[in-house]
Structure 1
């Protein structure tokens, strides 16, 4: 399962993992709790309105989920009597951590209507807005989010290369943010002149059976297996002459050294000198050949074929 979370700077809710992973609560109760905590302070929600907005759960299912939140301290109902009118109303409080009795009481509304203000953010009695219900000290700073990765021409080329490799090997699939983070490393392969086929072979060869972190594996291989820069010849440059032996001028990879046949000592047997009769016969054959006359066969010398 690949988890992808988009960076946000507004309209988001910070919620601890221990709340969403509280096994005492059903998934319906966790969903309702997350929805209630995302609403602004002063919102009016009850079982009926929640059931109307989520018809798939039903009023009975919503009531059961709210009872779970009440049982484990995430949802609190309190009866408040107006000192002037004497009317009794029920107020609800939703907490992002289980409510305990040692927590401070929630602030009571101002009985004077002239001093009442619209519900909204602002300071409250006993601490800053957003203070922990447990009374623990908070930093008062807004949660910071990672800066978005800037997209450049080089990073887009590297990210596109990683995306094509992921289509060939699904175990190396990356999110968009992870691909942009690793794009500079992939761009180095393109700058070194490594072909996409060779890049895919080096990055996907010998993968483990289970890839638990494609980003960590690719980051390691992109940095560790980077080949040396490729040297590309100019196609317009003249071709270099073939290497040959310096003695017999036959093709030879090392022109500084003689080929094998020239380096081996010659062991041919010496020939015997010709006799005067053979010399005269050869001279007569040469003269007749020049004049276009048939050659005569003499003793000791055969007619050439």
Structure 2
């Protein structure tokens, strides 16, 4: 224990017992240049300074939303959100919100390695002081009666009630069971579509109405699960009710009855030829056979 380790590297400068001693090694890869105006900021909290250094070290396109940062660091979402607001207030971060043509709202985050000054407010032109004008004589008293008091503003019209859910025309127990199983299994295609028992009972008649109109269960399942929004579904039951109502297919056309299976239509009865008395099939008596018509005897008088 008292033998000196001669293999340990000696310190390049004497240690300072009262302050920090820096042992600096030149970085050649995987480093980030951060200004002292940030790391020695006099107002920012330590959490905000560390978060700004981490954000500046990330590549472009990396996610820096609150949930992603909270999953990366032990600080909770509240402290990270407060640190981001500090960086925005001091010009090191900007969050720009933009609405896409589809109506979805997205947020772009911009990081600055130099603090940006806050936008200057527009200077307002001071109004020139008005010179006092001499008082005008009071107008004569009006002879007309005073106008009626303004009526109270009309209340905004209430939004129309939602359309009722479709229902089958005729009850069918097998069809209702298929609809219930279809709704209860939607979470296998998307975990966000896990419905409660009450929601399944409410939506099952609407699915049965689709099946009654000739829709296959796979087609109904595709109509309910296709093109779902990427945002978290707060009310999956309301989304499914809207699709079942608005996308309801028309009634299927009636299936034509198959031709009767069995003997063909009865042939016409036998009648004698009007000329040669040969038996021929014809619907009405007084007709001529094929040979008499070919010989032109169907027009000559009988002998």
The answer to whether the superposition gives a TM-score over 0.5 is no
> So what's the TM-score if we normalise by structure 1?
0.31
Structure with higher helix content: 1
